[in-house]
Structure 1
Amino acid sequence: MDITVIRVDDRLIHGQVVFGWTQALGIEQILVADDATAANPTQRDLLLLAVPTGVVADVLSIDDAAKVIAASTSRIPTMVLVKGPRELQTLKRAGVPMTEVNVGNVHTGPGRRRLTKEVHATGEEIAIWRELAAEGVQLEALWLPGQTRTDLGKLVAQLAD
C-alpha cells in the first residue's frame, strides 16, 4: 500500500481531511483504523458519507487495517487515519511501518494538557508520544497543508512532567 500520510485526528474523516489533505496530497484512498468506529455501523456509515467522489475509503479495526496494509500491493496514494496516540501506537505495534506521522487535531478535555493550539494530551498520551519519537517516528503537528509544522516529538521531550 502506498501510504502517503498517516494522520492522527480525533475527528477522523471531516472537512480538513476531505478538502485540505486529500487535494493537497493527491490522496485517492482513506483507511480509517479505529476499533470503536469499525464496530459501530452507524458511525462508520456517517464517516463514509463525508468521503469525496473519486476517493475510496474504508473503516476497519486497527488489527484488520494492519493486515490489509501488510497484504496490499496497491500503489494508490493512501491516507491512514487514527484517533489518537494510543491507536497510533497499536497500529505501529501491529507491524505498520511509520517514519513520519502528521498530528492534526486531538481535542482538549479534563486532564488534558495543551501541547499546541490543536493538540492536547493526557500524561499517558504524552508518554506514548515520547515513546514513538524515541523509536524514530517523526511527529509533526500540522493542522492543514502549508501551515507551520511543529516538531511534536521535540516538544514532548522538553516537557516537564
Structure 2
Amino acid sequence: MSSQVKELSTAIACRGISVRTTNLAETSFETAKLGRLWQKFYQNHVEHLSEGEDIYGVFHNYESEDLVGAFDVVASWNTANHEDNDKSSAELVTVTIPAGKYLVFTEEGRMPNTVMNAWEKAWEYFHNPDCAHTRTYNVDFEHYIGGNLEYGQLDLYIGIE
C-alpha cells in the first residue's frame, strides 16, 4: 500500500445508485448496505458500461467528522463517458467529485478485501496524532481502475485541506 497527495484539477461528474449508511451499520451483516449496493450496481448497471471503464464509489454528505456519523455512498460511473439516455430511472443520482487536494491510498488485490484494507490504512493514518493532513469530510471516493470489482487496483481518494 502506498499513499501520495494528488491534486484533482477538474471535477468529475458521476451517476449511479446511492445508499445512506454508517460505519457501525457496515460491521453487521444484518444492517450492512454497501455490499448490497455494489451487488445491485454490478447486476443492473455494469453491463451498460464499456469494458474496462473506471468505476467510482463516492462518499459524501457526511453527518459528522468521526466514524459514527451517517454518510451517502454512490456506486457510479463518470458521466463524461456516456450520453444521458437513462433519464427515466428514478433510482439514479448524480454527484460531483470536486477538484481539489486528495491523499490517495493505493491497493491492489481481490475485492472487497482491497477496499477494506485501503480504508483501514486511511483511518489509521488520519487518527495518528502526527498526521500531516486534515480531512475535509466533503467528498472522498474509491476509484476502481479498469472497472474491475473483483480483482484489480483501487485508489482511495480522501479529501484534504
TM-score by length of 2: 0.27
Relative contact order (alpha carbons < 8 A, sep ≥ 6): 1 or 2 greater?
Answer: 2
TM-score by length of 1: 0.27
